[in-house]
Amino acid sequence: MPKEPEPRVDVDLSIRVFGLDAEGHPFSQKAQARNVSQHGAKLAGLDKQLKPGDVVGVQYGEQKARCKVIWVVDAGEVQKIEAGVKMVEGQPCPWQKEIATTVPPEGTARNVPAKPKEDKRKFPRQRVPFPLEIRDPQGVGAPMKTRAADINGRGCYVETMLPLPTGKILSITLWLGSKKVTTPAIVRTCDGGVGMGIEFTGLDLATQERLQQEVDTMAAESKPKNVKGAF
């Protein structure tokens, strides 16, 4: 039995797209997301040329996600450049609310958002601004104080316009309560103009679990709570 295509919704959402263009120059611009789905969208109104395989950042309201470019076409002066993008695995859907609340035309079946793929990582990623320091293990230069965009017990993603190259060895310092923890790490993914994925290579299992507990707690506390008696 053929697999049903993922439900798509025709919208015109104002978004921000950022990253590196096809020539390797950083950019950040307003654009539109159209024909969106749980795992992708068609972007329109782009001024900068992209190429398939690029990873760009997409922001709708306060929600951000990293997306891989699948196809690119020049749609002319009005629509400018259009691109089809797919969410990087594990990234949240920025327009989830629009998909969930869209009512299809009368006489058609209601679009039901596709069930997200099961996250097979040992620890789930949490989108919390976890503070940490990044430094060269040889002590070259000043440490970079930043916050992870998402993190789990084994690694994190840091948004930056100038990510370090894949394979770069780092020293990461973070705090678990009042305990300072320093671990060697390595850059696993480098998305120009967007950020970098970092794996913590020196944490034992107990420390990984303690870190995961910390970020899970932060994520739970950041979720809005229902107020009893509200109308």
Query: Whole-angstrom Cα distance, residue 71 to residue 79?
Result: 15
Pick 130-222's CATH classification: 2.40.10.220, 2.60.40.10, 3.40.190.10, 3.10.20.30: 2.40.10.220
Q: Which residue has the higher pLDDT, 77 or 88?
A: 88
The pLDDT, as a whole number, for residue 106 is: 44
The pLDDT, as a whole number, for residue 2 is: 47
Pick 8-101's CATH classification: 2.60.40.650, 2.40.10.220, 3.20.20.70, 3.60.15.10: 2.40.10.220
How many Cβ atoms sit within 10 Å of the Cβ of residue 192?
Answer: 18
The pLDDT, as a whole number, for residue 112 is: 45
Q: Does pLDDT of 119 surpass 70?
A: no
The pLDDT, as a whole number, for residue 141 is: 78
The pLDDT, as a whole number, for residue 225 is: 61
Q: Which of 112, 63, 120, 60 is nearest to 90 (CA)?
A: 120
Same fold, 8-101 and 130-222: yes
What are the strands of the beta sheet with 195-200, ordered from one edge?
144-148, 130-135, 169-176, 179-191, 195-200, 155-159, 150-152
The pLDDT, as a whole number, for residue 5 is: 60
Q: What is the mean pLDDT of the chain?
A: 84
How do residues 156-183 score in pLDDT, each as one tens digit?
999 998 899 999 999 999 999 899 999 9
Query: Whole-angstrom Cα distance, residue 198 to residue 16?
Result: 25
The pLDDT, as a whole number, for residue 68 is: 94
How do residues 48-58 score in pLDDT, each as one tens digit?
899 999 999 99
Q: Which residue has the higher pLDDT, 110 or 215?
A: 215
The pLDDT, as a whole number, for residue 101 is: 76
Domain boundaries, the chain: 8-101, 130-222
